[in-house]
Amino acid sequence: MISRRRLLSASAATVLLAACGSNTGRGNGQALRQWYHAYGEPGVQQAVERYAKSYDKVPVEVQWNPGDYESKLATSLLSGTGPDVFESTLQISAVRSNQIVALDDVISSARDDFTATILAGHTVDGKVYGVPQAVDMQMLFYRKSMFAAAGLQPPSTVDELVEAARKLTSGGVKGLFAGNDGGAAVLGGPALWSAGLDYVTPEHQVGFDDPLAAQAIGKLRDLYSSGALLLGAVKDWAEPDAFTQGLVAMQWTGLWTVPAVQKALGDDFGVLPWPRLNDAGRPSVPVGAFGAMVNAKSSRIDEAKEFVRWLWVERADYQEDFNLSYGFHIPPRASLAAKAAKLQSGQAADAVKFVRDNAKSSNPPDWTSAMRTSYTDAVSRVIRDGAPADAELRTAVSKVRDELKRIYG
Partner 1 sequence: MRHSRAFWLFVGPFTAGLAIFVYLPIGWSVLLSFFDARNTVTPSTFVGFANYADMLTDASFLRSLGTFSLFALFVVPLTFVLALALALLVNGIRSMQAFFRSVFFMPFACSYVVASLVWKLSIFNGVRFGLANTVLGWFGAEPIAWTVSTSPPWYWLVLVTLRLWLQLGFYMILFIAGLQRIPRVLYEAASIDGASSGWQTLRFITLPQLRTTSVAVLLLLLVAAYQAFDEFYNVLGAGPFGRPPLLYLYNIALGSGGQDFGHGSAGAVILTLLIAGVTLAHGKVFAR
Binding site for partner 1 (CB under 8 A): 6, 10-14, 16, 70-71, 74, 78, 89, 91, 93-94, 96-97, 99, 172, 180-182, 184-185, 230-234, 247, 368-370, 372-374, 376-377, 380-381, 384-386, 395
Shortest Cβ 394–partner 1 spacing (Å): 12
**Residue nearer to partner 1 on the CB measure, 309 or 399:** 399
**Residue nearer to partner 1 on the CB measure, 74 or 294:** 74
**Residue nearer to partner 1 on the CB measure, 78 or 338:** 78
**Residue nearer to partner 1 on the CB measure, 133 or 374:** 374
Q: Which of 175, 89, 116 shows the shortest CA–CA distance to 140? A: 175
- C-beta separation of 170 from 149 below 8 A: no
In angstroms, the first-to-last Cα distance of the chain is 38
**Residue nearer to partner 1 on the CB measure, 353 or 394:** 394
Shortest Cβ 248–partner 1 spacing (Å): 10
Shortest Cβ 164–partner 1 spacing (Å): 21
Shortest Cβ 85–partner 1 spacing (Å): 19
Please tell me the distance from the alpha carbon of residue 272 to that of residue 205, in angstroms, as a whole number: 30
Shortest Cβ 118–partner 1 spacing (Å): 18
Shortest Cβ 297–partner 1 spacing (Å): 12
**Residue nearer to partner 1 on the CB measure, 338 or 370:** 370
Residues with Cβ < 8 Å from 265, sequence gap 6 or more?
143, 243, 244
Shortest Cβ 237–partner 1 spacing (Å): 12
Shortest Cβ 265–partner 1 spacing (Å): 19
**Residue nearer to partner 1 on the CB measure, 70 or 84:** 70
**Residue nearer to partner 1 on the CB measure, 13 or 341:** 13
